Amino acid sequence: MPPAVGGWLMASGGSSATYGAKDIQVLEGLDPVRKRPGMYIGSTGLNGLHHLIWEVVDNSVDEAMAGHCTTITVVLHGDGACSVIDDGRGIPVDPYPSGPHKGKSALEVVLTVLHAGGKFGGEGYKVSGGLHGVGVSVVNALSTRLLAEVDRDGSRFRQEFVNGGTPKGGLKKIGPSPGRNRTGTRITFMPDPTIFVAEGTEFVPRTVTDRLQTIAFLNRGVIVQFVDERPGKEQKVTFQYKGGIVDFVKHLNASREALFSKVAHYEASEADQTLDVAIQWNTGYNEGIYGYANGISTVEGGMHVEGFKTALTSVVNKYARAQNLLKEKDDNLTGEDIREGITAVVAVKLREPQFEGQTKAKLGNVSMRSFVQKETNARLEEWMLENPTEANRIVKKAIAAAQARVAAKNARNAVRRKTALAGAGMPDKLKDCTSTDASETELFIVEGDSAGGTAVDARDPRTQAILPIRGKILNVERARLDKMLKNTEIQTLTLAIGGGIGNEEFDATKARYHKIVILADADVDGSHIRTLLLTFFYRQMRPMVDAGYIYIAQPPLYSTEVGKEKIYLKDDAAKARFLADHPHHKKEFQRLKGLGEMDWQELRQTTMDPSSRTLLRVSVEEAAVAEDVMSVLMGDDVESRKKFIQTNARDVRNLDF
């Protein structure tokens, strides 16, 4: 039984004996989006809420990439709605020519039919970032109200939709376009609070501005504006970068010490694909290569990044040999050596991108690898020959990294020998679980022996392991691997988790636990410990973050009583919601300053029991943004850190990436 156009088939319950045609439910139009929103926007939490903005903004960006849009504006209104405005060509409004939607305006079809748009064929868009999503129709489906306004052919057109995408009348021509020859689209939508129940429908300014700034970097010269009209949060920010990704690299290195002031930059194009690369090294030890395909952040890399890395290693070794900086007897520098301290943006555009990987953010087009490799071999070699001072510094830093790599290898071996001689594979502090099935086991990292003892009593010993750590671990943002491996707490973490250390060596498939839960107090010291641990995992066990294995526990900040029942509240926002529901509540609120103030039964119920706890999964959607935040928070630039904290203090709920 085939579904109607735009519909989905779903089977309802029933035994095999009674299961028949009556049990098949046809979801028409946008119904499947409301039935399973997570399939379309990832989640119904904050990430999913902001995805609504990205879906609309992506359409405007596609207009910019096609050369038809110069300004994109996002407005957060005081009533909770959001508008995205551009000066592109405007969504077509003429009648749809054929099929079941014949006679409806193209605008209505785009806003009410899944997989309808100008990016699935024809000449509407040569390159598009919108191919990875299902479009603005999803935004309509998950909104209580959506208003579309289009300026085309000297006229302004308007159509309104309510209650998850139902048209409130047809398309109307409401008058002339304001301004001479004005074209463009304005989409205003109100997220549906019955969909976004978990964390509400309040947009976070930092999340929006980070994404918009990246869009401005990747689309040289385009004006990208953010306007917040909400009471008490009013602001207007404008991004425009005439240097494009060269400015992007300078921005990413702003909180670090650059190895030299110049930025290597080259562009190339052939057939239906283009390449834009900018590179600068800093004096730090971390690698930062950020790939983008048609404006989409490819956090898992892909063919364009592979081609760049291969060519980079070849070019630097070739230059080092030619300049006699590497002697004949010396081994070649490894890619890891050369990429120490690098900040690079590799942005490509292509006609038919193929995305793959766990988050659909890995570019799979094989032709792009050879294209990027060929162009980098030629263009980067030319740049190094023209800039010998900078090129020599790159090689000398790589040679120093190679020496540190050897020292780190020796340190690793020393740790392994020490473990073997001790006759025990696991650290003494670790209170391990009995299960050896990594898919069901959890490791709680707890600060202090006292809280660790409480956690041991509160755990399920079959699946939950406890590792107490003492004080604050080493800030790995400022240390090479050989120094890290001499740190007792890092040795303990490495041995307990398994899989090795260092992103080049670490193997997430060998990790002994598929949930690593950071359990720290809900105070300033706890936040610092949490950030140090997140930095360690991001820098030295990044595959664990990418696999979704790192979590943050959410111990409650307050407790109170309703009748004889004790109620726990996660934070100030939860307390405010509680008071709104219980305006005459007279009992005091106890502020829980530390895990040590809870008995083991309370810790189990509120924080460790899978049936009643809340965990935050750590993820990285925008690698460059995460890199920037990590460097600012954990680096040496005190002023940048102070400014960041002052700017984002109000939105602290969203800082754990």
Q: How many CA atoms lie within 13 A of 630 on its CB side?
A: 25
Strand 264-270 relative to strand 273-281: parallel, antiparallel, unpaired? antiparallel
- 588 catalytic? Reply is no
Distances (CA, A) of 522 to 445, 552, 554, 571, 594: 14, 11, 8, 9, 7
The closest alpha carbon to 287, from 24, 561, 480, belongs to 480
Kindly give the residue spans of alpha helices, DSSP state H, lying in 232-329.
Answer: 245-252, 303-322
- 525 catalytic? Reply is yes
- 599 catalytic? Reply is no
The closest alpha carbon to 451, from 600, 606, 559, belongs to 600
Spell 103-140 as b/e; 16+ CB within 10 A means b: ebbbbbbbbbbbebbbbeeeeebebbbbbebbbbbbbb
The closest alpha carbon to 188, from 214, 223, 159, belongs to 159
Strand 342-350 relative to strand 288-293: parallel, antiparallel, unpaired? parallel
Kindly compute the dihedral angle of the four CA atoms of residues 48, 52, 55, 58, in this order, to the nearest 10 degrees. -110
Q: How many CA atoms lie within 13 A of 325 on its CB side?
A: 21
Out of 287, 300, 447, 489, the active site residue is 447
C-alpha to C-alpha distance for 393 and 379, rounded to whole angstroms: 18
Out of 521, 621, 627, 628, the active site residue is 521
Which residues on adjacent β-strands are paired with residue 280? 343
Angle at 166 between CA 164 and CA 167, to 5 degrees: 140
For 224, phi and psi rounded to 5 degrees?
-120, 120
- 31 catalytic? Reply is no
Q: How many CA atoms lie within 13 A of 117 on its CB side?
A: 23
Angle at 19 between CA 14 and CA 25, to 5 degrees: 85
- Please give the DSSP secondary-structure letter assigned to residue 477: G
Whether the CB-CB separation of 526 and 598 falls below 8 Å is answered with: no
Which residues on adjacent β-strands are paired with residue 380? none
List residues with catalytic annotation. 447, 521, 523, 525
